[in-house]
Every structure is written in structure tokens, then in C-alpha cells.
A and B are shown apart, each in its own frame.
Chain A
Amino acid sequence: MIKKMIIGLLAGVVSGLFSTGGGMILVPAFIYLLDVDDTKARGTSIFCILPMVITSSFFYYKGNFIDWRVAGLCAIGGAIGGYIGAKLLKKLPEKILKIVFTVFLIYVSYKMIT
């Protein structure tokens, strides 16, 4: 019970702070701490993140941080890209995706900190 409360709270704080990363916390937490299987962990995490994102959006909106032009244009690209990505997913091996993603994370974190 307390474990679940902390997982939810932590994912929410991260999601609110950075607007991303809630899933990076929820998925491993579900798998390793709550023994949820892989597919269910991913599905459940997306469901949990939506209310967090809607809550955060409200505060970012109030803080005047939403640029509707940029958001609209990104969404157009995103819709097309999401479709391509879902098709690609079946063809690319998970190990390579993971390695590329990790290298990318290290690069971005270096750029953000310095």
C-alpha cells in the first residue's frame, strides 16, 4: 500500500517537473517492485500518466508556458511519426533500441548539465 503510494507520488512529481519521465519510473517500478508483467506494466503506466499530464498541463497553462502554434505543428508530425514508429517497432531488435536510447540519454544529460 505505502509502496504504491510512493510510486504514484514520485512518478507524479517527475511528470510535473519535467513533463516526461513518468513512464520511465512507473514501468520499472511496476515490474520490479509490484511484480506486474511487462506488457501490463506498459499498458497500465500509460493509463496512469494521462491524468498526471492533464494536471500538469493545467498549471503550465496558468503559468503561460503553452505555445499553441508549436504544439499544433509538433502534433501533426507526431501523429504521422507515431504510425511509422509502431510499424518499425516490430522490425527493430530491442537490444539495439535500448543501446541507442541510452547513448542518447547520456548525451542529452551532458548537454543539459553543462
Chain B
Amino acid sequence: MSEILIGLVSGIVSGTGMGGGTILIFLLSFLIGIEQHIAQATNLIFFIPTSIVAIIVNLKNKNIDMKLALFISIFGILGAIIGANISIHIDVGILKKCFGVFLATIAIHEIYSIFKIYIKQYKSNKKKRK
């Protein structure tokens, strides 16, 4: 039952457009103790139907740059072959640490982008006052 709830929470977050996958992996491994590799694999399967729906919506709204998408996809597939093979052959402890470092990097980028929003607002407020 808890798996359905975890899926629900991750789905809500995915729908808002930020890191549903990260939350799914985290909840599966920390709340119900699923091994990191299996949690990650679950996320892959979880992603496929949701993304297909999103792609159809985006195609209809013409939000996809097809030329760019196909080019990136080819190199993305090459990268995924490398990444997935590293992942399935390394120890869980190391994989978790790498994941942590990656998330910390994203967090730093997010902090930077939040600051940028504030600076933008500050500047436009200043202009209005003038």
C-alpha cells in the first residue's frame, strides 16, 4: 500500500514539473528500504507512461524543437548506455554517494536561480520607483 502512496506523492510533484523522480527514489529507499538500484529501476518504469502523455501534450502544443530533440537523443542514448552500465556494476554505497553529490550540485544551481529571480524583481521594482 505504501508504494501506491509514494507513487501518488511523486506523481503530484512530477505534475508540478520538478524532480518527481528524485522524490520517488528517495522515498522508496528511505521509507521502505528498497535498494538504490531497484528504486532507480522503478523510477525508469514509472517515467515511461507519464512522459509519453507529456510528449503527446507537448507535440500538440508545438513545444518540441524536433531537430534539436533528435540530435540530443542520439547522443543521449550513447550516454545512457555508458551511465547505466556503470550504475549496474558499482556498489550501492558508492552509487548513493554519487547521487548525493549530483543532487547537491543541482541544489547549488537552484539557489543561484532563486537569487536571480530576486535580483530581477529588485531591479524592476527600482525602475518602477524611478
Contact = CB atoms under 8 A, between A and B. Distances in A.
Contacts of B6: 74, 77
Interface string A86-114: 11110010010111011011101111110
Interface in B48-93: 48-55, 58, 61, 63-65, 68-69, 71-88
B12 A60 contact: no
B119 interface: no
A71 B45 contact: yes
Q: Is the interface of A mostly helix, strand, loop or mixed?
A: helix
Interface residues of B, number: 88
Contacts, number: 338
Interface of A: 4-5, 7-22, 24, 26, 28, 30, 34, 36, 39-40, 42-44, 46-63, 65-71, 73-89, 92, 95, 97-99, 101-102, 104-106, 108-113
Nearest to A49: B51
Contacts of A59: 81, 84-85, 87-88
A19 B43 contact: yes
A82 B22 CA distance: 15
B102 A55 contact: no
A77 to B, nearest CB: 3
A47 B11 contact: no
Contact of B69 (A44, A58, A79, A112): A44
A6 B61 CA distance: 28
Given A46-B58, A65-B88, A89-B15, A53 B110 contact: no
Contacts of A22: 76
A109 B21 contact: no
A3 to B, nearest CB: 11
A109 B109 CA distance: 14
A112 B94 CA distance: 10
Contact of A77 (B8, B19, B76, B103): B8
| Best-buried of A60, A86, A101, A105 by chain B (most CB within 10 Å) | A105
B72 A108 contact: no
Given A24-B19, A81-B10, A13 B97 contact: no
B81 to A, nearest CB: 6
